[in-house]
Amino acid sequence: MATEMTMDTLVAYKTDFESGCAEFLSRYPDSELYAPVRYLMGLGGKRLRPALVLAACEACGGQKAQALPAALAVELFHNFTLMHDDIMDDAPLRRGHATVHEKWNDNLSILSGDALHVMSCEALLDAPAEALPDLMRTFHRTALEVCEGQEQDMAFESREEVALDEYMEMIRLKTSVLLAASLRMGGRSAGSREETLDALYEFGLHVGLAFQLQDDYLDAFGDPEKFGKQVGGDILSDKKTFLLIRALEKAHGADYDALRSELGQKKEGKVGRVLDLYRRLGVDSELRDAMAGQVALAEGALARFEQSKSGALQGSKAAVSLLHGVAAMVTERLS
């Protein structure tokens, strides 16, 4: 199956990344400030973003080693956002274990998260000198966009009405731009030209939108054993996800009143009641269709990426097929 091949290639990139990461972390003191950093990084995760950096670099004809600094930067930055996101979302679980603020406290989680952000910037400094200014521009712009998206996500919790296009813009910012930047930075580390980098970025944006839609789906309907996070957390905090927005748009009469009455409180059984409404209103299958739409757009961008390279260095076929596989994998993980 395509997904199995993709998983094998992902594991290979993950292995490359892990050894580089261990070496990088060993540069920092063994003190309390870095304990949460080592803990969260040590809990693993899919390492999707660094795999995309390395794959994009190879798909553009570069060598993985050229892109390792960018891969480290995006994964360290991603983990920083998770450490702070878990405080903001009051989340008890991350990757199947206690979140940093639960295991330690909010203050250390804020401070270690800040350190992790700075570490991500330090990691990038080892990138090829010729690519560094452009990599830094992409990386810092992206970091600000993620903060903008996180601010919107939080503000939407207490807003009564959020439109679907506002939600799509919010997830573009909080999630997609980092996947897109990972691909662009991988291609840039290989020295690719602008047209190629733009196609990679656009591919990442659509994969990222599909990926956050999937994350929202799994937060509601995922298997608690496999998800590694608290299932129903988004429902408890009234997150304006695709599911809630569409349910509020589709519900009428008693269903609408029932759904509205669940917002702003956390009474026993809230998650189950909201999930029943989601299923009855069919917003789960709507979300799957929206995801498939994004995956199709991602495939279009990938085709443009391949065209943009014709005549130039072709790059690794395995890396290109990983990019195709990642897009497909996002939809397959729901079944």
Look at residues 108, 125, 122 and name the one whose alpha carbon lies nearest to residue 31: 108
Is residue 174 involved in binding ligand IPE (CB under 6 A)?
Answer: yes
Residue 50's CB: how many other CB atoms inside 10 A? 29
- Least CB distance from residue 170 to Mg ion, whole Å? 10
Strands 97-98 and 93-94: antiparallel
Is residue 148 involved in binding ligand IPE (CB under 6 A)?
Answer: no
Q: Which of 58, 145, 202, 219 binds Mg ion (CB under 5 A)?
A: 219
Give which of Mg ion, ligand IPE, none residue 159 binds (C-beta under 5 to 8 Å, depending on kind).
none
Is residue 286 involved in binding Mg ion (CB under 5 A)?
Answer: no
The residues near 60 (Cβ < 8 Å, ≥ 6 apart) are 186, 187, 190, 191, 192, 196, 309, 313, 315
The residues near 30 (Cβ < 8 Å, ≥ 6 apart) are none
Nearer to Mg ion, 13 or 39 (CB): 39
Is residue 205 involved in binding ligand IPE (CB under 6 A)?
Answer: no
Q: Which of 5, 12, 33, 95 binds ligand IPE (CB under 6 A)?
A: 95
- Least CB distance from residue 238 to ligand IPE, whole Å? 13
Is residue 82 involved in binding ligand IPE (CB under 6 A)?
Answer: yes
From CA 167, how far away is CA 213, in angstroms rounded? 10
Give 90-112 as a 3 state SS string.
CCCEECCEECHHHHCCHHHHHHH
Which helix (H) or strand (E) segment holds residue 214: the answer is helix 194-221
- Least CB distance from residue 154 to ligand IPE, whole Å? 10
- Least CB distance from residue 319 to ligand IPE, whole Å? 19
Is residue 48 involved in binding ligand IPE (CB under 6 A)?
Answer: yes
Q: Which of 15, 32, 46, 194 binds ligand IPE (CB under 6 A)?
A: 46
- Least CB distance from residue 67 to ligand IPE, whole Å? 18
Whether residue 146 contacts residue 113, with contact meaning beta carbons closer than 8 Å, is answered with: no
The residues near 221 (Cβ < 8 Å, ≥ 6 apart) are 231, 275, 284
Whether residue 178 contacts residue 199, with contact meaning beta carbons closer than 8 Å, is answered with: no
- Least CB distance from residue 313 to ligand IPE, whole Å? 30
- Least CB distance from residue 212 to ligand IPE, whole Å? 6
Is residue 324 involved in binding ligand IPE (CB under 6 A)?
Answer: no
Give which of ligand IPE, Mg ion, none residue 184 binds (C-beta under 5 to 8 Å, depending on kind).
none
The residues near 270 (Cβ < 8 Å, ≥ 6 apart) are 235, 236, 262
Q: How many CA atoms lie within 13 A of 237 on its CB side?
A: 22
Q: Give the binding range for Mg ion (CB under 5 A) out of 12-20, 67-75, 191-199, 209-217.
A: 209-217
Whether residue 212 contacts residue 246, with contact meaning beta carbons closer than 8 Å, is answered with: no
Query: x/- binding map, residues 82-101, to Mg ion, per CB under 5 A?
Result: ---x---x------------
Is residue 92 involved in binding ligand IPE (CB under 6 A)?
Answer: no
Q: Give the binding range for ligand IPE (CB under 6 A) out of 9-17, 42-50, 55-63, 286-294.
A: 42-50
DSSP 8-state code for residue 33: G
3-state DSSP call for residue 55?
A: helix
Interface residue list for Mg ion (CB under 5 A): 85, 89, 215, 219
What is the contact surface with ligand IPE in residues (CB under 6 A)?
45-46, 48, 81-82, 85, 89, 91, 95, 146, 150, 174-175, 212, 215, 219, 229
